[in-house]
Structure 1
Protein backbone atom coordinates (compact mmCIF):
# COMPACT_ATOMS: atom_id res chain seq x y z
CA UNK A 1 0.00 0.00 0.00
CA UNK A 2 1.38 3.37 -1.02
CA UNK A 3 1.85 6.22 1.45
CA UNK A 4 -0.84 8.23 -0.36
CA UNK A 5 -3.33 5.35 -0.11
CA UNK A 6 -2.56 4.95 3.59
CA UNK A 7 -3.21 8.63 4.24
CA UNK A 8 -6.48 8.53 2.30
CA UNK A 9 -7.60 5.46 4.23
CA UNK A 10 -6.75 7.10 7.57
CA UNK A 11 -8.63 10.25 6.61
CA UNK A 12 -11.61 8.15 5.50
CA UNK A 13 -11.68 6.30 8.82
CA UNK A 14 -11.50 9.59 10.73
CA UNK A 15 -14.41 10.96 8.68
CA UNK A 16 -16.52 7.85 9.28
CA UNK A 17 -15.74 8.05 13.01
CA UNK A 18 -16.74 11.71 13.07
CA UNK A 19 -20.06 11.00 11.37
CA UNK A 20 -20.85 8.07 13.67
CA UNK A 21 -20.13 10.22 16.71
CA UNK A 22 -22.70 12.81 15.70
CA UNK A 23 -26.44 12.55 16.36
CA UNK A 24 -28.46 11.96 13.26
CA UNK A 25 -30.98 14.76 12.67
CA UNK A 26 -34.45 13.60 13.86
CA UNK A 27 -36.99 13.12 11.11
CA UNK A 28 -40.08 12.53 13.28
CA UNK A 29 -41.53 14.80 16.02
CA UNK A 30 -41.68 11.96 18.58
CA UNK A 31 -37.91 11.55 18.34
CA UNK A 32 -37.46 14.84 20.25
CA UNK A 33 -40.19 14.22 22.82
CA UNK A 34 -39.76 12.59 26.24
CA UNK A 35 -42.17 11.90 29.09
CA UNK A 36 -39.99 11.35 32.19
CA UNK A 37 -39.15 12.60 34.72
CA UNK A 38 -42.54 14.16 35.36
CA UNK A 39 -42.29 17.49 37.30
CA UNK A 40 -44.04 17.44 40.68
CA UNK A 41 -47.41 19.11 40.97
CA UNK A 42 -47.31 22.38 42.93
CA UNK A 43 -50.48 24.31 43.71
CA UNK A 44 -49.92 28.07 43.68
CA UNK A 45 -51.06 30.03 46.71
CA UNK A 46 -54.10 32.27 46.44
CA UNK A 47 -54.37 35.82 47.80
CA UNK A 48 -50.75 35.88 48.92
CA UNK A 49 -50.70 32.41 50.46
CA UNK A 50 -47.56 30.27 49.95
CA UNK A 51 -47.51 27.49 47.33
CA UNK A 52 -48.31 23.94 48.40
CA UNK A 53 -44.68 22.78 48.66
CA UNK A 54 -43.43 25.77 50.67
CA UNK A 55 -41.95 25.60 54.15
CA UNK A 56 -43.68 28.33 56.14
CA UNK A 57 -41.19 30.02 58.48
CA UNK A 58 -43.44 32.77 59.80
CA UNK A 59 -47.22 33.11 59.45
CA UNK A 60 -47.81 35.64 62.20
CA UNK A 61 -48.92 33.20 64.90
CA UNK A 62 -45.65 32.54 66.74
CA UNK A 63 -41.85 32.80 66.70
CA UNK A 64 -41.48 29.05 67.27
CA UNK A 65 -39.39 28.55 64.11
CA UNK A 66 -36.82 31.16 65.19
CA UNK A 67 -34.05 31.45 67.75
CA UNK A 68 -31.62 34.13 68.89
CA UNK A 69 -28.49 33.94 66.74
CA UNK A 70 -26.04 34.71 69.52
CA UNK A 71 -27.03 32.02 72.02
CA UNK A 72 -29.80 29.87 70.44
CA UNK A 73 -32.34 30.98 73.06
CA UNK A 74 -35.93 31.85 72.13
CA UNK A 75 -36.32 34.74 69.70
CA UNK A 76 -37.15 37.94 71.58
CA UNK A 77 -38.58 40.08 68.78
CA UNK A 78 -42.08 41.54 69.14
CA UNK A 79 -45.02 39.53 67.81
CA UNK A 80 -47.74 41.91 66.57
CA UNK A 81 -51.51 41.49 66.37
CA UNK A 82 -51.49 42.17 62.61
CA UNK A 83 -49.52 38.97 61.88
CA UNK A 84 -46.10 40.57 61.69
CA UNK A 85 -43.03 40.65 63.91
CA UNK A 86 -40.85 43.67 64.66
CA UNK A 87 -37.18 43.93 65.57
CA UNK A 88 -36.90 44.46 69.32
CA UNK A 89 -33.97 46.83 69.66
CA UNK A 90 -30.67 45.33 70.84
CA UNK A 91 -32.08 41.87 71.46
CA UNK A 92 -29.93 40.50 68.62
CA UNK A 93 -30.36 38.87 65.25
CA UNK A 94 -32.75 35.96 64.91
CA UNK A 95 -32.44 32.93 62.64
CA UNK A 96 -34.38 29.87 61.64
CA UNK A 97 -34.00 26.66 63.59
CA UNK A 98 -33.88 24.82 60.27
CA UNK A 99 -30.91 25.01 57.89
CA UNK A 100 -31.27 25.45 54.14
CA UNK A 101 -29.15 25.34 51.02
CA UNK A 102 -30.44 26.72 47.73
CA UNK A 103 -33.92 28.20 48.11
CA UNK A 104 -36.65 30.35 46.69
CA UNK A 105 -37.49 32.81 49.49
CA UNK A 106 -40.51 35.05 49.88
CA UNK A 107 -40.39 37.67 52.62
CA UNK A 108 -42.28 40.91 53.28
CA UNK A 109 -40.95 43.84 55.30
CA UNK A 110 -41.76 47.43 56.13
CA UNK A 111 -40.09 50.39 57.74
CA UNK A 112 -41.98 52.35 60.42
CA UNK A 113 -44.20 55.14 59.10
CA UNK A 114 -42.62 57.60 61.52
CA UNK A 115 -39.21 58.64 60.19
CA UNK A 116 -36.66 59.23 62.92
CA UNK A 117 -33.12 58.83 61.55
CA UNK A 118 -31.00 59.20 58.41
CA UNK A 119 -28.66 57.22 56.20
CA UNK A 120 -27.82 53.70 57.33
CA UNK A 121 -29.63 54.28 60.64
CA UNK A 122 -33.10 54.58 59.09
CA UNK A 123 -34.96 51.25 59.24
CA UNK A 124 -31.81 49.21 58.69
CA UNK A 125 -32.06 45.43 58.78
CA UNK A 126 -31.03 42.62 56.47
CA UNK A 127 -31.96 39.20 55.13
CA UNK A 128 -29.00 36.79 55.33
CA UNK A 129 -29.08 33.72 53.10
CA UNK A 130 -27.17 30.75 54.54
CA UNK A 131 -26.70 32.99 57.57
CA UNK A 132 -23.92 34.98 55.85
CA UNK A 133 -24.94 36.61 52.52
CA UNK A 134 -26.95 39.79 53.09
CA UNK A 135 -29.68 41.36 51.01
CA UNK A 136 -29.99 44.84 52.50
CA UNK A 137 -33.21 46.14 54.07
CA UNK A 138 -33.30 49.93 54.44
CA UNK A 139 -35.65 52.90 54.08
CA UNK A 140 -34.08 54.78 51.16
CA UNK A 141 -37.04 57.03 50.42
CA UNK A 142 -35.54 60.55 50.27
CA UNK A 143 -32.60 59.06 52.16
CA UNK A 144 -29.38 58.65 50.16
CA UNK A 145 -26.54 56.36 51.23
CA UNK A 146 -23.69 54.45 49.56
CA UNK A 147 -25.29 52.59 46.68
CA UNK A 148 -23.73 49.20 47.41
CA UNK A 149 -25.40 49.43 50.81
CA UNK A 150 -28.79 50.78 49.79
CA UNK A 151 -32.05 48.87 49.87
CA UNK A 152 -31.90 45.74 47.70
CA UNK A 153 -28.12 45.67 47.46
CA UNK A 154 -26.09 42.55 48.01
CA UNK A 155 -24.33 44.33 50.82
CA UNK A 156 -20.99 45.91 49.78
CA UNK A 157 -20.98 43.76 46.59
CA UNK A 158 -23.76 44.47 44.10
CA UNK A 159 -25.70 47.69 43.52
CA UNK A 160 -29.39 47.05 42.74
CA UNK A 161 -30.59 47.66 39.19
CA UNK A 162 -33.35 49.92 40.53
CA UNK A 163 -34.72 51.39 43.75
CA UNK A 164 -38.20 49.90 43.86
CA UNK A 165 -39.38 50.66 47.41
CA UNK A 166 -42.98 51.54 48.19
CA UNK A 167 -43.69 54.63 50.35
CA UNK A 168 -42.28 54.59 53.88
CA UNK A 169 -44.47 52.59 56.24
CA UNK A 170 -45.99 50.36 53.53
CA UNK A 171 -45.20 46.67 52.97
CA UNK A 172 -42.38 45.69 50.59
CA UNK A 173 -41.85 42.21 49.16
CA UNK A 174 -38.60 40.43 48.36
CA UNK A 175 -38.69 37.30 46.21
CA UNK A 176 -35.19 35.86 46.22
CA UNK A 177 -33.62 32.95 44.34
CA UNK A 178 -30.48 31.77 46.10
CA UNK A 179 -28.12 29.13 44.73
CA UNK A 180 -25.54 28.16 47.31
CA UNK A 181 -21.81 28.07 46.53
CA UNK A 182 -20.05 24.72 46.21
CA UNK A 183 -16.88 23.64 48.01
CA UNK A 184 -14.43 20.78 47.56
CA UNK A 185 -11.61 20.00 49.99
CA UNK A 186 -12.17 23.28 51.79
CA UNK A 187 -11.99 25.41 48.64
CA UNK A 188 -14.79 27.14 46.75
CA UNK A 189 -15.20 25.59 43.31
CA UNK A 190 -18.41 27.35 42.29
CA UNK A 191 -19.76 30.71 43.44
CA UNK A 192 -23.27 31.11 44.75
CA UNK A 193 -25.75 33.41 43.00
CA UNK A 194 -28.63 35.65 44.00
CA UNK A 195 -31.61 36.94 42.08
CA UNK A 196 -33.81 39.48 43.85
CA UNK A 197 -37.23 40.79 42.80
CA UNK A 198 -38.35 43.79 44.86
CA UNK A 199 -42.07 44.59 44.66
CA UNK A 200 -42.22 42.85 41.27
CA UNK A 201 -39.14 44.63 39.90
CA UNK A 202 -35.96 42.70 39.06
CA UNK A 203 -33.15 44.39 41.01
CA UNK A 204 -30.46 41.66 41.19
CA UNK A 205 -30.12 39.47 38.09
CA UNK A 206 -28.39 36.18 38.95
CA UNK A 207 -25.38 38.00 40.41
CA UNK A 208 -22.31 36.18 41.68
CA UNK A 209 -21.83 36.08 45.44
CA UNK A 210 -18.20 37.02 45.99
CA UNK A 211 -18.22 35.75 49.57
CA UNK A 212 -19.44 36.98 52.94
CA UNK A 213 -20.86 40.51 53.17
CA UNK A 214 -18.93 42.23 55.99
CA UNK A 215 -19.25 45.88 57.00
CA UNK A 216 -15.43 46.16 57.02
CA UNK A 217 -13.01 44.20 54.86
CA UNK A 218 -13.15 41.96 51.81
CA UNK A 219 -15.54 39.05 51.26
CA UNK A 220 -14.37 35.76 52.75
CA UNK A 221 -15.19 32.25 51.56
CA UNK A 222 -15.22 29.84 54.51
CA UNK A 223 -16.39 26.38 53.40
CA UNK A 224 -19.90 25.58 54.55
CA UNK A 225 -22.94 23.45 53.97
CA UNK A 226 -26.53 24.41 54.65
CA UNK A 227 -27.26 27.26 57.04
CA UNK A 228 -30.12 29.25 58.59
CA UNK A 229 -32.03 32.20 57.25
CA UNK A 230 -31.03 35.13 59.48
CA UNK A 231 -32.74 38.50 60.06
CA UNK A 232 -30.74 41.41 61.41
CA UNK A 233 -31.21 43.58 64.48
CA UNK A 234 -29.05 46.54 63.41
CA UNK A 235 -29.06 47.87 66.95
CA UNK A 236 -30.24 51.41 66.25
CA UNK A 237 -33.97 51.13 66.94
CA UNK A 238 -34.69 50.28 63.31
CA UNK A 239 -38.25 49.09 64.10
CA UNK A 240 -38.37 47.06 60.87
CA UNK A 241 -41.24 44.57 60.68
CA UNK A 242 -41.50 41.26 58.79
CA UNK A 243 -44.36 38.98 57.76
CA UNK A 244 -45.30 36.12 55.37
CA UNK A 245 -41.94 34.34 55.27
CA UNK A 246 -41.65 31.05 53.38
CA UNK A 247 -39.12 29.10 51.33
CA UNK A 248 -39.09 26.41 48.66
CA UNK A 249 -36.02 24.21 48.78
CA UNK A 250 -34.16 23.98 45.45
CA UNK A 251 -31.56 21.36 46.42
Structure 2
Protein backbone atom coordinates (compact mmCIF):
# COMPACT_ATOMS: atom_id res chain seq x y z
CA UNK A 1 0.00 0.00 0.00
CA UNK A 2 3.04 2.33 0.32
CA UNK A 3 3.44 3.04 -3.41
CA UNK A 4 -0.18 4.12 -4.15
CA UNK A 5 -0.02 6.59 -1.26
CA UNK A 6 3.23 8.03 -2.61
CA UNK A 7 1.79 8.35 -6.13
CA UNK A 8 -1.31 10.05 -4.76
CA UNK A 9 0.84 12.55 -2.86
CA UNK A 10 2.82 13.35 -5.99
CA UNK A 11 -0.38 13.93 -7.99
CA UNK A 12 -1.71 16.25 -5.30
CA UNK A 13 1.52 18.24 -5.33
CA UNK A 14 1.44 18.57 -9.11
CA UNK A 15 -2.17 19.74 -8.89
CA UNK A 16 -1.21 22.45 -6.42
CA UNK A 17 1.61 23.63 -8.69
CA UNK A 18 -0.76 23.78 -11.65
CA UNK A 19 -3.25 25.76 -9.62
CA UNK A 20 -0.52 28.18 -8.52
CA UNK A 21 0.54 28.62 -12.13
CA UNK A 22 -3.02 29.39 -13.11
CA UNK A 23 -3.24 32.03 -10.39
CA UNK A 24 0.03 33.62 -11.57
CA UNK A 25 -1.46 34.07 -15.03
CA UNK A 26 -4.56 35.93 -13.93
CA UNK A 27 -5.11 39.34 -15.60
CA UNK A 28 -4.50 41.16 -12.33
CA UNK A 29 -1.00 39.71 -11.99
CA UNK A 30 -0.22 40.42 -15.64
CA UNK A 31 -0.71 44.11 -14.88
CA UNK A 32 2.18 43.84 -12.41
CA UNK A 33 4.59 42.51 -15.05
CA UNK A 34 7.57 44.94 -15.04
CA UNK A 35 7.98 44.49 -18.80
CA UNK A 36 4.68 46.30 -19.35
CA UNK A 37 6.33 49.62 -18.39
CA UNK A 38 9.59 49.14 -20.32
CA UNK A 39 9.92 51.47 -23.33
CA UNK A 40 12.65 50.51 -25.79
CA UNK A 41 12.16 53.06 -28.58
CA UNK A 42 13.09 55.68 -29.56
CA UNK A 43 16.67 55.04 -28.49
CA UNK A 44 18.42 58.29 -27.43
CA UNK A 45 21.29 59.36 -29.68
CA UNK A 46 24.76 58.85 -28.26
CA UNK A 47 26.58 62.07 -27.33
CA UNK A 48 30.23 61.79 -26.38
CA UNK A 49 31.25 63.98 -23.45
CA UNK A 50 35.05 64.19 -23.39
CA UNK A 51 36.61 65.71 -20.29
CA UNK A 52 37.26 69.45 -20.61
CA UNK A 53 35.79 69.59 -24.12
CA UNK A 54 32.45 70.35 -25.73
CA UNK A 55 29.94 67.52 -26.23
CA UNK A 56 30.22 65.80 -29.60
CA UNK A 57 26.97 67.33 -30.89
CA UNK A 58 27.82 70.89 -29.81
CA UNK A 59 28.44 73.86 -32.08
CA UNK A 60 31.76 75.34 -30.94
CA UNK A 61 31.58 79.13 -31.16
CA UNK A 62 35.01 79.88 -29.71
CA UNK A 63 37.78 77.34 -29.10
CA UNK A 64 40.50 79.81 -28.17
CA UNK A 65 41.95 80.15 -31.66
CA UNK A 66 39.95 82.64 -33.73
CA UNK A 67 36.68 84.55 -34.10
CA UNK A 68 35.59 82.98 -37.38
CA UNK A 69 32.15 82.26 -35.90
CA UNK A 70 31.67 85.91 -34.91
CA UNK A 71 31.26 89.30 -36.54
CA UNK A 72 31.36 92.94 -35.49
CA UNK A 73 28.21 94.62 -34.22
CA UNK A 74 27.90 96.55 -37.48
CA UNK A 75 29.12 93.67 -39.64
CA UNK A 76 32.62 92.72 -40.78
CA UNK A 77 35.37 91.04 -38.79
CA UNK A 78 34.97 90.86 -35.01
CA UNK A 79 37.37 93.46 -33.53
CA UNK A 80 38.11 91.92 -30.11
CA UNK A 81 41.56 90.53 -29.26
CA UNK A 82 42.39 86.82 -29.11
CA UNK A 83 45.31 85.61 -27.01
CA UNK A 84 46.08 82.82 -24.57
CA UNK A 85 42.98 80.85 -25.51
CA UNK A 86 40.62 83.73 -24.65
CA UNK A 87 38.87 86.57 -26.45
CA UNK A 88 38.89 89.93 -24.68
CA UNK A 89 36.74 93.01 -25.14
CA UNK A 90 38.48 95.93 -26.80
CA UNK A 91 36.77 98.86 -25.06
CA UNK A 92 35.13 101.23 -27.48
CA UNK A 93 35.00 98.71 -30.32
CA UNK A 94 31.35 97.74 -29.64
CA UNK A 95 30.05 94.23 -29.20
CA UNK A 96 30.35 91.08 -31.27
CA UNK A 97 27.67 88.59 -32.32
CA UNK A 98 27.56 85.11 -33.76
CA UNK A 99 27.14 84.74 -37.49
CA UNK A 100 24.74 81.91 -36.82
CA UNK A 101 21.23 82.43 -35.44
CA UNK A 102 19.76 80.41 -32.59
CA UNK A 103 16.43 79.77 -30.87
CA UNK A 104 16.31 77.13 -28.09
CA UNK A 105 19.81 76.28 -26.88
CA UNK A 106 22.03 74.93 -24.17
CA UNK A 107 24.91 77.40 -23.82
CA UNK A 108 28.24 77.02 -22.04
CA UNK A 109 30.40 80.10 -21.72
CA UNK A 110 33.31 80.99 -19.43
CA UNK A 111 34.21 84.56 -18.52
CA UNK A 112 36.70 86.56 -16.47
CA UNK A 113 36.62 90.14 -15.23
CA UNK A 114 39.84 92.19 -14.85
CA UNK A 115 41.90 91.42 -11.76
CA UNK A 116 42.62 95.10 -11.10
CA UNK A 117 39.56 96.76 -9.58
CA UNK A 118 40.98 99.91 -7.98
CA UNK A 119 38.88 102.93 -8.84
CA UNK A 120 35.95 100.87 -10.10
CA UNK A 121 32.80 99.79 -8.32
CA UNK A 122 29.16 98.95 -8.92
CA UNK A 123 28.23 98.71 -12.59
CA UNK A 124 31.65 100.07 -13.59
CA UNK A 125 33.52 96.97 -12.42
CA UNK A 126 33.98 94.26 -15.05
CA UNK A 127 30.72 94.93 -16.85
CA UNK A 128 29.66 93.03 -19.97
CA UNK A 129 26.66 90.95 -20.94
CA UNK A 130 25.51 87.90 -22.86
CA UNK A 131 22.43 88.62 -24.97
CA UNK A 132 20.36 85.60 -25.98
CA UNK A 133 18.69 86.11 -29.35
CA UNK A 134 20.36 89.52 -29.47
CA UNK A 135 17.74 90.96 -27.09
CA UNK A 136 17.72 89.35 -23.64
CA UNK A 137 20.69 90.02 -21.36
CA UNK A 138 22.28 87.66 -18.88
CA UNK A 139 24.48 90.05 -16.90
CA UNK A 140 28.25 89.67 -16.64
CA UNK A 141 29.76 91.72 -13.81
CA UNK A 142 32.35 91.51 -11.08
CA UNK A 143 29.93 90.91 -8.19
CA UNK A 144 32.53 89.67 -5.71
CA UNK A 145 32.22 92.07 -2.77
CA UNK A 146 30.87 94.71 -5.13
CA UNK A 147 27.39 95.97 -4.14
CA UNK A 148 25.03 97.14 -6.86
CA UNK A 149 21.29 96.88 -7.56
CA UNK A 150 20.33 93.21 -7.17
CA UNK A 151 18.68 92.87 -10.58
CA UNK A 152 21.88 94.16 -12.17
CA UNK A 153 24.48 91.96 -10.50
CA UNK A 154 26.20 88.96 -12.09
CA UNK A 155 23.78 86.22 -13.22
CA UNK A 156 20.78 88.52 -13.16
CA UNK A 157 18.48 88.78 -16.11
CA UNK A 158 19.33 92.44 -16.38
CA UNK A 159 16.76 94.75 -14.76
CA UNK A 160 14.32 91.81 -14.51
CA UNK A 161 15.31 88.77 -12.40
CA UNK A 162 17.56 88.68 -9.33
CA UNK A 163 19.78 85.56 -9.10
CA UNK A 164 18.90 83.07 -6.35
CA UNK A 165 22.39 83.43 -4.84
CA UNK A 166 25.65 85.24 -5.54
CA UNK A 167 28.07 82.53 -6.74
CA UNK A 168 30.74 84.96 -7.94
CA UNK A 169 34.45 84.25 -7.77
CA UNK A 170 37.10 86.86 -7.11
CA UNK A 171 38.06 89.21 -9.96
CA UNK A 172 40.65 87.75 -12.31
CA UNK A 173 39.35 84.19 -11.87
CA UNK A 174 37.55 82.27 -14.57
CA UNK A 175 33.83 81.71 -14.05
CA UNK A 176 31.24 79.74 -16.00
CA UNK A 177 27.61 80.03 -17.01
CA UNK A 178 25.64 76.99 -18.14
CA UNK A 179 22.37 78.12 -19.64
CA UNK A 180 19.18 76.50 -20.88
CA UNK A 181 17.34 79.00 -23.06
CA UNK A 182 13.82 78.53 -24.37
CA UNK A 183 12.95 81.15 -26.95
CA UNK A 184 9.65 83.05 -26.89
CA UNK A 185 6.90 81.94 -29.27
CA UNK A 186 4.74 84.27 -31.30
CA UNK A 187 1.55 83.72 -33.24
CA UNK A 188 1.33 84.35 -36.98
CA UNK A 189 -0.28 87.66 -36.14
CA UNK A 190 2.67 88.66 -33.94
CA UNK A 191 1.07 88.09 -30.52
CA UNK A 192 3.04 86.49 -27.71
CA UNK A 193 2.11 82.80 -27.33
CA UNK A 194 4.68 81.96 -24.65
CA UNK A 195 7.47 84.06 -23.09
CA UNK A 196 11.14 83.15 -23.05
CA UNK A 197 12.38 81.07 -20.13
CA UNK A 198 15.90 80.66 -18.81
CA UNK A 199 17.75 78.39 -16.38
CA UNK A 200 21.30 79.35 -15.38
CA UNK A 201 24.01 77.67 -13.34
CA UNK A 202 26.78 80.03 -12.25
CA UNK A 203 29.95 78.12 -11.39
CA UNK A 204 27.81 75.00 -11.01
CA UNK A 205 25.26 76.69 -8.70
CA UNK A 206 21.63 77.18 -9.73
CA UNK A 207 20.93 80.92 -9.92
CA UNK A 208 17.99 81.16 -12.35
CA UNK A 209 15.42 78.37 -12.13
CA UNK A 210 13.21 78.26 -15.25
CA UNK A 211 12.81 82.02 -14.93
CA UNK A 212 10.18 83.69 -17.09
CA UNK A 213 11.69 86.57 -19.07
CA UNK A 214 9.37 89.57 -19.22
CA UNK A 215 10.64 90.91 -22.54
CA UNK A 216 13.70 92.37 -24.21
CA UNK A 217 16.28 94.01 -21.98
CA UNK A 218 15.74 97.71 -21.35
CA UNK A 219 18.06 100.08 -19.46
CA UNK A 220 15.17 102.47 -18.84
CA UNK A 221 11.53 101.44 -18.64
CA UNK A 222 9.66 98.16 -18.53
CA UNK A 223 10.53 95.20 -20.78
CA UNK A 224 8.18 94.17 -23.56
CA UNK A 225 8.00 91.74 -26.46
CA UNK A 226 8.02 92.31 -30.20
CA UNK A 227 7.78 89.34 -32.58
CA UNK A 228 11.06 87.95 -33.92
CA UNK A 229 12.69 84.72 -35.00
CA UNK A 230 15.96 83.01 -34.21
CA UNK A 231 18.81 85.49 -33.69
CA UNK A 232 22.52 85.66 -32.83
CA UNK A 233 24.18 85.48 -29.43
CA UNK A 234 25.64 88.91 -28.69
CA UNK A 235 28.52 89.75 -26.32
CA UNK A 236 28.53 93.30 -25.02
CA UNK A 237 31.31 95.88 -24.93
CA UNK A 238 30.66 97.90 -21.75
CA UNK A 239 34.11 99.54 -21.58
CA UNK A 240 35.70 96.78 -19.47
CA UNK A 241 38.33 94.26 -20.56
CA UNK A 242 36.21 91.20 -19.85
CA UNK A 243 37.47 87.94 -21.37
CA UNK A 244 35.58 84.89 -22.66
CA UNK A 245 36.58 81.34 -23.56
CA UNK A 246 35.20 77.84 -24.19
CA UNK A 247 31.95 78.96 -25.82
CA UNK A 248 29.67 76.29 -27.26
CA UNK A 249 25.97 75.65 -27.78
CA UNK A 250 23.70 72.69 -28.34
CA UNK A 251 20.51 73.35 -30.27
CA UNK A 252 17.50 71.96 -28.42
- The answer as to whether partners of 1:26 and 1:32 remain within 8 angstroms in 2 is no
1:28 counterpart = 2:30:
no
1:192-217 deviation digits (Å, cap 9, x = unpaired): 11000000110000100111011111
Show the counterpart of 2:182.
Answer: 179
2:152 matched to which residue of 1?
A: 149
Picking from 40, 45, 52, the partner of 1:40 is: 45
Query: Does residue 231 of structure 2 align to residue 215 of structure 1?
Result: no
SS at match of 1:107: strand
2: CA distance, partners of 1:39 / 1:121: 46
Distance 2:230 2:135 in 1: 11
Query: What is the TM-score when the length of structure 2 is the normalising length?
Result: 0.85
CA–CA separation in structure 1 for the residues paired with 2:217 and 2:162: 13
Map of 1:86-235 to 2, 5 A cutoff?
86-116=88-118, 117-184=120-187, 185-234=189-238
Instruction: Let me know the Cα RMSD of the aligned residues.
Output: 1.1
The 3-state SS of whatever aligns with 1:246 is strand
Tell me if 1:248 matches 2:250: yes
Provide the aligned length of Structure 1 versus Structure 2.
Answer: 221
Q: What is the match of residue 76 of structure 2?
A: 73
The structure that has the greater radius of gyration is 2
Question: What is the CA distance between 1:45 and its match in structure 2?
Answer: 2.4
Question: Normalised by the size of structure 1, how large is the TM-score?
Answer: 0.86
The residue that corresponds to 1:53 in the other structure is: 57
Q: Could you give the per-residue CA deviations for residues 149-206 of structure 1, whole angstroms, max 9, x where no partner exists?
A: 0011000110001111111100000000001111102011111110000001100001
Secondary structure at 1:206 match in 2: strand
* 3-state secondary structure, aligned to 1:148: helix
- SS of the aligned residue for 1:233 comes to coil
Could you tell me which runs of 5 or more consecutive residues in structure 2 were left unpaired when the two chains were aligned. Answer: 1-29
Aligned residue number for residue 83 of structure 1: 85
